[in-house]
Chains A and B, each alone.
Chain A
Amino acid sequence: MTAPFYIALRFATHRKRALLLSLVGVVFGVGIFICTQAQTQGFAQFFINSTIGSNGALIVRSRFQPRYEGLVIPTKNVSALPARRNYFEGIHNVSEIMRVSRQFSNVVACSPVLRGNVSARSGFETTNVELFGIDPPSHLRTTDLAKQIIDGKFDDFVNNTSAVIIGYRLAEQLEVGCGDSIQLLSPGGEYWRFVVAAIARSGVGTIDSTRVYAQTRVAQRLLKKPYEASMIIYKLRDPYRAPALATHFETLFQHLSQSWQEREESTLQLFIMLRLSVAVTVSLMILLAGFGIFNVLTMSVLSKVREIAILRSMGYRRIDISAIFLWQGALIATVGSLIGCILGGLLTWIVSKVPIHIRGLLYTNHFLVVWDWRHYLGATVLAVVAVFIASYVPARRAAQLQPVDTLRGSSL
């Protein structure tokens, strides 16, 4: 144990009340930081998991016409605006694209989907819905649809071509349950009758209130499409590498490819803003705690002026004197962060048990939290930086004290 650390330990523990006050600030700052981050990220992560679980991590859509820009001779004095892409609706070489896609290590599974908007009717209720024509076996491998079913059986859907699966909020809106029938209006103007085989809940409001799943061939007939897929959805091993893969697929297949990050950009930005806003607010708490520590250590320096002078007379260097006060800060930061992390974990656990009723953007009956070691690291780093800054100024001031001035003032 170095001499400055030993003295710092004794100084800090001697002033128990001041130490406790400083610790309380850091402990609560760190604890609340962890809890709020776990909570805000919990909602964001739930949304991400739900949207990937329903719509895949990556989507390949319509084919576009290559522009062959390298062949175009640039014209002088004309502002060269990039030409718009020409898209061709639908995917005609589904099997080939899926076969090539499966060669990529990040691709776990992929599934074709025929998507179209139709009108749904049940009794007197009518609403616009998004029809997903799916191939049940491959769709199950690619999405979490089987896990999302809250009523009815997936097998009833597979075994009956006139069966559909609908979102739970849509079911509430149309006032239908399993076994009831709904009618879908085809572009040709005739209503088709379907039986509700199952009701699914993805947790994402926009999906649950509009989604209807039917079998591909039925959907193709109803939508009167010449192709059997308007998009291919992908399940990836690492969804966070989806943007790179999307860029690669776009070049490779000459089809529009979209990662979930691009698809859900606006919602994700909302979550990021929310997280940042909460982080800034809680960081202010930690900075406030740092200000408290600054006061405590400044008072400590002022009350230890004579001790500092005598330590200097005994051969302690300026760096030793500043180390004494920096060690006190380090002690507060270490103990405070440690207890703060425990408190943060405890608060996160308690918050995760708090019941809430959210039925908007997301569906949840309790607070959603994420257990992430990075929250603990972030809070600790923040606390250490704040405490270091708070300790540095008093420590520097202590080191700069002239022992002669103090000794002269005391002895004459």
Chain B
Amino acid sequence: MKGDISLCCRDLERYLGEAEERVHALRGVSLDVETGSLHAVVGPSGCGKSTLLYILGLLDVPDAGSVEIGSTLVAGLRDEELARRRNQLIGFIFQFHFLMEEFTAQENVMIPMRRLGQLSEEEMGERAANLLEAVDLGDKLRRQSRHLSGGEQQRVAIARALANDPQVILADEPTGNLDTNNSQRAFELLANIVREREKALLLVTHNRFIADSCDWVHEMQDGRIIASHPHGERISV
């Protein structure tokens, strides 16, 4: 339901590296992402944006603090359980699409569904086709992913992130590798899906236009969120 908190973290601390090279990547970061909302995290390189994203996506474990998805606390879970939650609750989109080149567009979208194992082969195929239709790739279902353009590949990655109907979508510079037109198109597509299907989106971006289009923009610096702006307010970065 719109307004509910889909993703929440409190006082996250994370150190990266060993001994003298140790970096304090996150310093007490707290954040709430509501259902149906788009949140952007901006900041200079190395400020901890991606680290925050990976912790929220259960790919990394914080040294201190807590993460909640829906209303479930996910701290201290075993690797197997974290994997199950990632599969069911989270959809990832990366700057580089990371599609499997051996697979067609449709098969790529079916990969998370196969892990979930709740649908038959036909049902998975049908669902993947619908998702690809939603990102305007309905005519390229059976095309090998390596034969798609950069923009198309990123749209397949968006469809794949939605494969298991996750509550939360985490995107790490999803348009960073696309030209302006494709960036805008991919973002609009993502924004529409999030709003229509009531997902929560947290994206890391350097793109001013995309950040401005989100409901919230969080500015990060040196591992801290130094400011959070609702839609329409000017960003200082």
Q: Which residues of chain A have a CB within 8 Å of any CB of chain B?
A: 3, 6-7, 10-11, 14, 306-307, 309-320, 403-404, 407-408, 410-412
Complex CA distance for A14 and B164, rounded to whole angstroms: 26
Q: Tell me the B169-207 residues at the A interface (CB within 8 Å).
A: 172-173, 176
Q: Which of B5-13, B29-37, B83-91, B208-216 forms part of the interface with chain A? A: B83-91
CB distance from B53 to the nearest CB of A (A): 9
CB distance from A359 to the nearest CB of B (A): 60
Residue of B nearest to A304 (CB): B100
Contact A3:B115 (CB < 8 A) given known A313-B86, A404-B54, A411-B172: yes
Partner of B95, one of A11, A314, A410: A410
**Chain B residue contacts of A3, Cβ below 8 A:** 111, 114-115, 117
CB distance from B205 to the nearest CB of A (A): 12
B50 touches A311 (CB 8 A): no
Residue of A nearest to B54 (CB): A404
Complex CA distance for A407 and B79, rounded to whole angstroms: 18
Contact A407:B114 (CB < 8 A) given known A306-B98, A314-B92, A315-B83: no
CB distance from A306 to the nearest CB of B (A): 5
Residue of A nearest to B163 (CB): A314
Complex CA distance for A37 and B107, rounded to whole angstroms: 46
A313 touches B57 (CB 8 A): yes
Please indicate which of the listed interface residues B54, B100, B103, B164 has the most CB atoms of chain A within 10 Å of its own CB. B100
A407 touches B172 (CB 8 A): yes
Partner of B173, one of A7, A307, A313, A411: A411
**Chain A residue contacts of B107, Cβ below 8 A:** 10
3 closest Cβ pairs, A-B complex: A315-B87, A3-B114, A14-B102
CB distance from B100 to the nearest CB of A (A): 6
Contact A411:B87 (CB < 8 A) given known A307-B100, A313-B57, A314-B115: no
Please indicate which of the listed interface residues A310, A314, A317 has the most CB atoms of chain B within 10 Å of its own CB. A314
Interface string of B48-70 (1 = CB under 8 A from A): 00110010010110000000000
Partner of A315, one of B84, B96, B102: B84
CB distance from A59 to the nearest CB of B (A): 66
CB distance from A275 to the nearest CB of B (A): 44
CB distance from A316 to the nearest CB of B (A): 6
CB distance from B102 to the nearest CB of A (A): 4
Complex CA distance for A316 and B115, rounded to whole angstroms: 7
**Chain B residue contacts of A313, Cβ below 8 A:** 57, 59, 86, 92, 94
**Chain A residue contacts of B80, Cβ below 8 A:** 317, 319
Complex CA distance for A310 and B163, rounded to whole angstroms: 14
Residue of B nearest to A408 (CB): B50
- Does B45 touch A at the CB level, under 8 Å? yes
A-B contact pairs, 30 of them (CB 8 A): A3-B111, A3-B114, A6-B114, A7-B100, A7-B114, A10-B102, A10-B103, A11-B102, A306-B98, A312-B59, A313-B57, A313-B94, A314-B86, A314-B87, A314-B92, A315-B83, A315-B85, A315-B87, A315-B112, A316-B87, A316-B115, A403-B59, A404-B54, A407-B54, A408-B54, A410-B94, A411-B50, A411-B95, A411-B176, A412-B45
- Does B148 touch A at the CB level, under 8 Å? no
- Does B116 touch A at the CB level, under 8 Å? yes
Partner of A7, one of B57, B111, B164: B111
Residue of B nearest to A11 (CB): B102
A315 touches B98 (CB 8 A): no
B94 touches A404 (CB 8 A): no
Residue of A nearest to B116 (CB): A315
Q: Tell me the B132-164 residues at the A interface (CB within 8 Å).
A: 160, 164
Complex CA distance for A10 and B112, rounded to whole angstroms: 15
Contact A310:B94 (CB < 8 A) given known A315-B83, A317-B79: yes
Residue of A nearest to B107 (CB): A10
Complex CA distance for A306 and B100, rounded to whole angstroms: 9
Complex CA distance for A408 and B57, rounded to whole angstroms: 13
CB distance from A16 to the nearest CB of B (A): 11
Complex CA distance for A7 and B115, rounded to whole angstroms: 11
B83 touches A412 (CB 8 A): no
Complex CA distance for A161 and B164, rounded to whole angstroms: 96
**Chain A residue contacts of B54, Cβ below 8 A:** 404, 407-408
Complex CA distance for A410 and B112, rounded to whole angstroms: 21
Residue of B nearest to A317 (CB): B83
CB distance from A304 to the nearest CB of B (A): 9
Complex CA distance for A318 and B87, rounded to whole angstroms: 13
**Chain B residue contacts of A318, Cβ below 8 A:** 79, 83
A410 touches B102 (CB 8 A): no
Complex CA distance for A146 and B15, rounded to whole angstroms: 90
Please indicate which of the listed interface residues B86, B107, B116, B160 has the most CB atoms of chain A within 10 Å of its own CB. B86
Complex CA distance for A410 and B103, rounded to whole angstroms: 21
Complex CA distance for A403 and B86, rounded to whole angstroms: 13
**Chain A residue contacts of B90, Cβ below 8 A:** 315
**Chain B residue contacts of A11, Cβ below 8 A:** 102
CB distance from A8 to the nearest CB of B (A): 11
Complex CA distance for A26 and B176, rounded to whole angstroms: 46
Contact A412:B50 (CB < 8 A) given known A313-B57, A317-B83: yes
Contact A312:B83 (CB < 8 A) given known A3-B115, A404-B60: yes
Contact A411:B88 (CB < 8 A) given known A10-B102, A315-B112: no
